[in-house]
Amino acid sequence: MKPAVLSSLATVAVVGAHNIGPLYPRQGSSGAPAGTSAGSAAAATPTSFSFSLASTNPTAIPLGNILSNAPSQPTHALPSTFAPGTTPTAVSGAPALPNAALLAPSAYPSLDVVVPTGSPEVQQWIQDVKNSGVVIPNIAPNAPGGCPNNTVAAADADKSRCWWTCTGCVADTDIVDCPDKLTWGLTYDDGPSLYTPDLLTFLAANNLKSTFFAVGSRVISFPTILQTEYMEGHQIAVHTWSHPSLTTLTNEQIIGELGWSKKVIKDVIGVTPTHFRPPFGDIDNRVRAIAKAMDLTPVIWTRISEQATFDTDDFDLHSGLTTASHVLQNWNYIEGNATSSNFPTGFILLEHDLFQQSVDIATGYILPDALAHQPPFKIEPVISCLNQPLNNAYLELNDNSTNPPPISATTVVTGSASATGSSGSGGSGGNGSNSAVSTVGFPGLGPALALTLTLLSGTTFLLL
Ligand SMILES: *[C@@H]1O[C@H](CO)[C@@H](O)[C@H](O)[C@H]1NC(C)=O
Ligand SMILES: *[C@@H]1O[C@H](CO)[C@@H](O)[C@H](O)[C@H]1NC(C)=O
Ligand SMILES: *[C@@H]1O[C@H](CO)[C@@H](O)[C@H](O)[C@H]1NC(C)=O
Ligand SMILES: [Zn+2]
């Protein structure tokens, strides 16, 4: 945690706990069906936006055509493809590339709904989490609707539960920026999609590497795109199976969502990611502890204050909730903040490769401008901006001697468990007693609410 961020969070916490409206629309509306709660934000926004760009792509889609009702563009081939059995060269010691054609979608959960927890796979992962010795804090799942719809949790959001979506509370283990000034940990979420090849072609042509937070439901739909991302040296990371708001799920559902997305990625590329991004940034100390027990380190995005989050809002172009010029104004503000002498570190911002509009604005405008920015940005995957080798992005290739995984075979399980997720230290809710604490379950919450959460969560992948 950086002092500058800490001091601004103190102010935000007060606002967050008492604000009656969504803090910022999509986080505040996590779990609600698309379009139900973003109207207030749209009504409050001005109608014209200004921006300036140092460079644009000569082949960019015109800004006026980056609209929700734009006709679907033709899709293009991947910049490269790799035969099954090829040995990866971007990482060392990796197994040969699996044969994606052999993967049967029927062997995986249904697409875009929260995974069932009764399967042998999920039951095994639940047991693994218990065996990890990580204490899961006793926090009931949130209702959908984020901060405004969860007053008890909101009042505690900057304290024991450290709920990022609500107040921006950051735990020591969260990655929210890059240590070195002017360094940009480039990330794209929610793919792979039909338009990801266009992004990969632009990145390859400009010798850029990114982190891709892949949704399991998309990975099983487009496995060869994920293989190209991996083989070209991009970082692959987890973004759940069905894109729910994780704080609204039971412990068992969270384990299932993370477990299946880890598994499908390993089945497609041969190795398991060590990093994940919670959809909507929706994480608290309960989610952090489960992720830690599953060897996943959270990556969110930079948030200086409630107003200055490093989110271009590119996701909302597809639905028409925002416009291309608004997104570019957001981008200019991010550049301004990232360059400002008040901001000591590098940064991570939120962008997406699920829809053509988000890819069009990235390849046509944001990335060309970023490449021409003075002073120059250093643009690289999150793992690289952390000054770690790409190998450390994968469990099987991680250098355990210099970078011990959250849970390793050598984890010492100590006798007394005092940690139940104290403020700002979700990751330290760690090595508790194996026997004294039940690590799975949601005490105090009946099956009726759990069922409601399951039913509501299926629509959320459309939101962010
Ligand atoms: C608020 O939570 C209740 C359950 O407690 C749920 O029925 C309702 O849909 C939620 N509202 C929103 C806007 O998500
Ligand atoms: C930082 O971001 C905020 C909110 O988007 C914006 O109002 C402000 O102008 C930005 N600062 C700079 C130096 O660009
Ligand atoms: C690091 O430890 C993991 C088990 O946690 C193991 O799978 C992996 O192979 C180890 N890394 C190397 C480079 O041996
Ligand atoms: Zn997402």
d(CA 212, CA 200) in angstroms, rounded, equals 11
Report how far apart the first and last C-alpha atoms of the chain are (Å, whole number).
25
Q: Whose CA is nearest to atom 2 of ligand 1?
A: 143
CB 179 within 8 A of CB 345: yes
Rg of the chain over all Cα atoms, to the nearest angstrom:
21
Among candidate residues 297, 278, 301, 291, the one with its CA nearest the CA of residue 137:
291
Among candidate residues 309, 74, 300, the one with its CA nearest the CA of residue 195:
74
CA 328 – ligand 3 centroid, Å? 42
Residue 352 annotated in active site: yes
Tokens representing 4 are 């500058």
pLDDT in tens, the chain (464 residues): 222 222 222 222 222 222 212 222 233 233 322 322 323 334 445 578 999 999 999 999 999 999 998 999 999 999 999 999 999 999 999 999 999 999 999 999 999 999 999 999 999 999 999 999 999 999 999 999 999 999 999 999 999 999 999 999 999 999 999 999 999 999 999 999 999 999 999 999 999 999 999 999 999 999 999 999 999 999 999 999 999 999 999 999 999 999 999 999 999 999 999 999 999 999 999 999 999 999 999 999 999 999 999 999 999 999 999 999 999 999 999 999 999 999 999 999 999 999 999 999 999 999 999 999 999 999 999 999 999 999 999 999 999 999 998 886 444 333 333 333 333 333 333 332 222 222 232 222 222 222 222 222 222 222 33
d(CA 392, CA 403) in angstroms, rounded, equals 8
Pocket of ligand 1 (CB under 6 A): 31-32, 37, 143-145, 149
Active-site hit among 158, 177, 189, 314 = 189
CB of 398 shorter than 6 A to ligand 3 = yes
Burial class (CB in 10 A: 0-12, 13-18, 19+), 440: middle
Question: What residue ranges define each of the domains in the chain, with the CATH number in brackets?
Answer: 3-462 (3.20.20.370)
Residues with CB under 5 A from ligand 4 (ion): 189-190, 279, 464
